[in-house]
């Protein structure tokens, strides 16, 4: 059976990470992997997470299954984090289940869409997170793209996006990034969200909103603005959320999939299908990460501590954007890189060629993917001068 298999290429980001680890250059810089790093280049455990884990170690008394939905407390706290005091909660029109990370949430949502309509089409932004397309195709969905990022002008191609969305069918789904667009960092503003919502109402398609970075853009509530506005105006939608970045729980693999229906009764029916999907994929979600998150969110003290640590991460990323632009100017580079400061979250395209990206790797041990997407958190005061000098040389 295995004899007919052919080797598939490795994930480009994981391949970069492997090369980075074996590189002996003391000035090497990793701008590929999408995880938060502090000034020393370390991804530390949040203090609020350590406190929540200590509480769990003292109070956990069983390892029995928690059921396909996961922890009810986690699901409730995540629903409030995502929607605030939104009417979908007061009207009992939202159901949330725990999932193995944000990727698990997306796969559950994709399989649910496929259950609603075999071979359904889902539209994703061009560009989008590299795993979106493969994940959706593996669920039996037909993937199409809508314009999103204007590479030439380093800006949002909003006119192209809106024109494409006006052609989407009512039985289609559309993936939208809630905030901190991966990989471009270019987000919709509030006026643009309003226009997208109006198109969604008019066309009747089902929005699937991916929120992997809530709190990394402008703030927890600010980053959920578009998602909540959409929920104000459409009868049904899906949300995939992740706790990997904002809680720093990368390896714990905990996220959530939320479904919103037109009424409490119709949402219950949809939720029964969602739970059947869960049962057939992984049966029960992991418990440890959910327990950490629910402990933090249900404790006034730990929640406040988390707010502070999240703000520190957000401020550092935003500061790194301005820092890099300033250092590029200091190097005498005349090309305008100010677009970097107008973007949000972990990522940005530098807008340099694949050949220049390769030179940065070969000659200066600076690692990023061919598209010139960089992880802003990999920049630090100790490496930014070397980074700016190297970019100047390849330009």
Q: Which of 29, 19, 18 is nearest to 390 (CA)?
A: 29
- My answer on whether omega of the bond before 183 falls inside 30° of 0, hence cis, is yes
Distances (CA, A) of 219 to 50, 82, 89: 23, 12, 21
**C-alpha torsion 160→131→205→85, nearest 10:** -100
Identify whether the C-beta of residue 179 lies closer than 8 Å to the C-beta of residue 142. no
Q: What is the CATH number of domain 65-298?
A: 3.40.640.10
Q: What is the mean pLDDT of residues 94-111?
A: 98
Q: How sure is the predictor about 306, in pLDDT bands with cuts at 50, 70 and 90?
A: very high
Q: How sure is the predictor about 318, in pLDDT bands with cuts at 50, 70 and 90?
A: very high
CATH topology of domain 10-43+315-394: 3.90.1150
Which pLDDT value is given to residue 172? 98
Looking at the chain, the whole-number percentage of residues with pLDDT higher than 70 is: 100
Mean pLDDT of the chain: 97
Which pLDDT value is given to residue 43? 96
| Residue ranges of the chain that CATH labels 3.40.640.10 | 65-298
Q: How sure is the predictor about 338, in pLDDT bands with cuts at 50, 70 and 90?
A: very high
Q: What is the mean pLDDT of residues 46-59?
A: 98
Which pLDDT value is given to residue 80? 98
Q: What is the mean pLDDT of residues 355-362?
A: 97
- Cα(254)–Cα(376) distance, rounded to whole angstroms? 24
- DSSP 8-state class, residue 335: S
- Cα(174)–Cα(145) distance, rounded to whole angstroms? 9
- My answer on whether omega of the bond before 240 falls inside 30° of 0, hence cis, is no
- DSSP 8-state class, residue 253: -
> Is the model's pTM score more than 0.85?
yes
Q: What is the mean pLDDT of residues 130-156?
A: 97
Which pLDDT value is given to residue 14? 79
Q: How sure is the predictor about 94, in pLDDT bands with cuts at 50, 70 and 90?
A: very high
Give the pLDDT confidence of 60-74 residue by residue, as tens digits.
Answer: 999 999 999 999 999
Give the pLDDT confidence of 215-256 residue by residue, as tens digits.
Answer: 999 999 999 999 999 999 999 999 999 999 999 999 999 999
- Cα(354)–Cα(370) distance, rounded to whole angstroms? 5
| Residue ranges of the chain that CATH labels 3.90.1150.10 | 10-43+315-394
- Cα(198)–Cα(230) distance, rounded to whole angstroms? 9
- Cα(354)–Cα(367) distance, rounded to whole angstroms? 12
Phi, psi of 96 (to 5 degrees): -120, 135
Question: Which residues are annotated as catalytic?
Answer: 129, 210, 245
Identify whether the C-beta of residue 27 lies closer than 8 Å to the C-beta of residue 364. yes
Give the pLDDT confidence of 8-50 residue by residue, as tens digits.
Answer: 887 878 788 889 999 999 999 999 988 999 999 999 999 999 9
Q: What is the mean pLDDT of residues 157-184?
A: 98
């Amino acid at each position: 059976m295995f004899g007919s298999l052919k080797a598939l290429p490795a994930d480009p980001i994981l391949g970069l990470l492997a090369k980075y680890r074996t590189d002996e250059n003391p000035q090497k810089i990793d701008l590929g992997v999408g995880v938060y790093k502090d000034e020393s280049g370390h991804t530390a455990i949040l203090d609020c997470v350590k406190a929540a884990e200590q509480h769990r170690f003292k109070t956990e008394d069983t390892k029995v299954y928690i059921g396909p939905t996961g922890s009810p407390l986690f699901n409730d706290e995540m629903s409030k984090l995502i929607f605030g005091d939104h009417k979908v909660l007061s009207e009992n029109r939202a159901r949330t289940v725990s999932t193995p990370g944000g990727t698990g949430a997306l796969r559950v949502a994709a399989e649910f869409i496929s259950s609603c309509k075999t071979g359904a089409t889902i539209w994703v932004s061009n560009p989008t997170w590299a795993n979106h397309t493969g994940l959706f195709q593996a669920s039996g969905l037909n993937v199409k793209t809508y314009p999103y990022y204007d590479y030439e002008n380093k800006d949002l191609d909003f006119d192209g996006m809106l024109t494409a969305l006006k052609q989407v069918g009512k039985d289609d789904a559309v993936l939208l990034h809630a905030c901190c667009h991966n990989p471009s960092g270019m987000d919709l503003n509030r006026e643009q969200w309003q226009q997208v919502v109006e198109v969604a109402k008019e066309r009747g398609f089902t929005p699937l909103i991916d929120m992997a970075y809530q709190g990394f853009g402008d703030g927890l509530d600010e980053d959920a603005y578009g998602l909540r506005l959409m929920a104000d105006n459409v009868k049904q939608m899906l949300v995939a959320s992740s706790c990997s970045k904002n809680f720093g729980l990368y390896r714990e693999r905990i996220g959530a999939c939320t479904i919103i229906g037109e009424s409490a009764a119709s949402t219950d029916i949809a939720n029964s299908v969602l739970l059947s999907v869960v049962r057939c994929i992984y049966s029960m979600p992991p418990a440890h990460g959910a327990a950490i998150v629910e402990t933090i969110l249900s404790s006034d003290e730990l929640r406040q501590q988390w707010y502070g640590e999240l703000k520190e991460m957000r401020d550092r990323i935003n500061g790194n954007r301005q820092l890099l632009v300033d250092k590029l100017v200091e190097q005498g580079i005349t090309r305008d890189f100010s677009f970097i400061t107008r973007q949000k979250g972990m990522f940005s395209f530098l807008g340099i060629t694949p050949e220049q990206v390769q030179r940065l790797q070969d000659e200066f041990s600076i690692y990023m993917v061919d598209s010139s997407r960089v992880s802003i958190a990999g920049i630090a005061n100790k490496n930014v001068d070397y980074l700016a000098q190297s970019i100047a040389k390849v330009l």
